[in-house]
């Protein structure tokens, strides 16, 4: 009897410790930011699924449907920009690791999406009114991405060995991709 209750007490203590450890490992605020980044990934896929099959034969109405999907991506980026910026200065090493796990796969996805936009330039040039829409979309996505990645970087602790340099590397990849796509949509020249 005594043994049983001792065991029960020990079990409870263990259980409570495990629960508070899990909670401490990744705070609700950081988890919200991670969920928002996962949502961005879903929206990038939604845009690229439609964009990858687009040809000028589809016409401006289909191009506008892709733009509507892009607007959903902007909504997701804005939400992350708010939620991730609220998490500033609160993270532990475990949280920084968790952030890297979430962010890392989205970077090649984002740079591929920007490359796809560049590859679709000839189709957009051949679609009346499309160039201006895409140019504006790139500009908005760029500024929302800058807001978000600045906050994601500021979340990192200097104590974490690789967080800041890794995020800085992601930032230059994104900046380069945005610069290339902005340049492409600044003119109507088709480079072979
Ligand atoms: C993808 O885009 C379509 C068309 O705009 C929209 O109906 C759908 O809700 C989008 N999916 C997500 C996950 O946003
Ligand atoms: C015009 O677009 C091409 C890509 O199609 C790009 O390489 C070039 O840099 C652009 N020109 C300018 C002046 O931005």
Say yes or no: CB of residue 119 within 6 Å of ligand 1.
Answer: no
Domain coordinates in residue numbering, the chain: 26-184
Nearest ligand to the CA atom of 65: 1
Q: Which atom of ligand 2 is nearest to the CA of 121?
A: 5
Ligand 1 centre to CA of 147 (Å) is 24
Mean pLDDT of the chain: 89
| Mean pLDDT within 57-85 | 97
Report the C-alpha gap between 26 and 36 in whole angstroms. Answer: 15
* Percent of the chain topping pLDDT 70: 86
CA-nearest residue, atom 5 of ligand 1: 69
Identify the top-confidence range among 15-24, 32-41, 147-156: 32-41
Provide the 10 A C-beta neighbour count for residue 75.
14
- pLDDT surpasses 70 at 17: no
Q: Evaluate whether 127 touches 192 at the Cβ level (below 8 Å).
A: no
Q: Which of 54-63, 70-79, 80-89, 133-142 has the lowest mean pLDDT?
A: 80-89
pLDDT tens readout for residues 86-126: 876 768 889 999 999 999 999 999 999 999 999 999 999 99
What's the number of CA atoms in the CB half-sphere (13 Å) around residue 37? 25
Average pLDDT over residues 167-191: 97
| CA atoms within a 13 Å half-sphere pointing along the CA-CB vector of 18 | 6
pLDDT at 68 over 50: yes
Ligand 2 centroid to Cα of residue 179, in Å, is 10
Interatomic CA distance for residues 130 and 122, integer angstroms: 11
- Residues 189 and 121: their CA atoms lie apart, in Å, by 9
Which residue's CA is the closest to the ligand 1 atom numbered 3? 69
Q: Is 64 in the pocket of ligand 1 (CB under 6 A)?
A: no
Residue 71 Cβ < 6 Å to ligand 1: no
Retrieve residue 102's tokens. Answer: 């979430």
Most confidently predicted of 1-15, 30-44, 84-98: 30-44
Which atom of ligand 2 is nearest to 191's Cα?
5
| pTM above threshold 0.85 | yes
Does ligand 1 come within 6 angstroms of the Cβ of 8?
no
Q: 152: closest CA among 171, 136, 133, 137?
A: 171
Which residue of 125, 138, 183, 192 sits with most ligand 2 atoms within 8 Å of its CB, as the best mutation to test the pocket? 183
d(CA 39, ligand 1 centre) in Å: 12
> In 26-126, which residue ranges form alpha helices assigned H by DSSP?
28-52, 60-86, 93-103, 106-119, 121-125
Task: Output the DSSP codes for 141-189.
Answer: HHHHHHHHHHHHHHHS-TTSSSHHHHHHHHHHHHHHHHHHHHHHTTS-P
**What's the CA-to-centroid distance between 157 and ligand 1, angstroms?**
36
Q: How many helices (H) and strands (E) does the chain have?
A: 8, 0
Which of 30-39, 79-88, 163-172, 180-189 has the lowest average pLDDT? Answer: 79-88
Question: What is the CA angle 61-67-71, rounded to 5?
Answer: 145
**DSSP secondary-structure letter at 88?**
T
């Amino acid at each position: 009897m005594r043994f049983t209750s001792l065991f029960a007490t020990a079990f409870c203590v263990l259980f409570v410790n495990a629960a508070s450890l899990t909670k401490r490992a990744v705070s609700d605020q950081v988890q919200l930011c991670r969920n928002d980044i996962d949502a961005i990934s879903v929206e990038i896929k939604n845009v690229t699924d439609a964009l990858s099959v687009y040809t000028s034969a589809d016409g401006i109405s289909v191009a506008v449907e892709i733009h509507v999907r892009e607007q959903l991506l902007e909504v997701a980026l804005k939400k992350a920009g708010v939620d991730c910026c609220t998490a500033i200065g609160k993270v532990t090493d475990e949280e920084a690791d968790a952030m890297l796990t979430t962010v890392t796969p989205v970077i090649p996805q984002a740079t591929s999406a920007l490359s796809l936009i560049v590859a679709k330039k000839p189709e957009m040039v051949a679609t009346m009114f499309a160039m201006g829409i895409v140019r504006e979309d790139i500009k908005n996505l760029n500024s929302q991405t800058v807001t978000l990645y600045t906050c994601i970087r500021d979340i990192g602790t200097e104590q974490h060995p690789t967080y800041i340099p890794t995020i800085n590397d992601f930032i230059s990849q994104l900046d380069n991709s945005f610069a290339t796509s902005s340049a492409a949509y600044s003119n109507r020249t088709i480079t072979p």
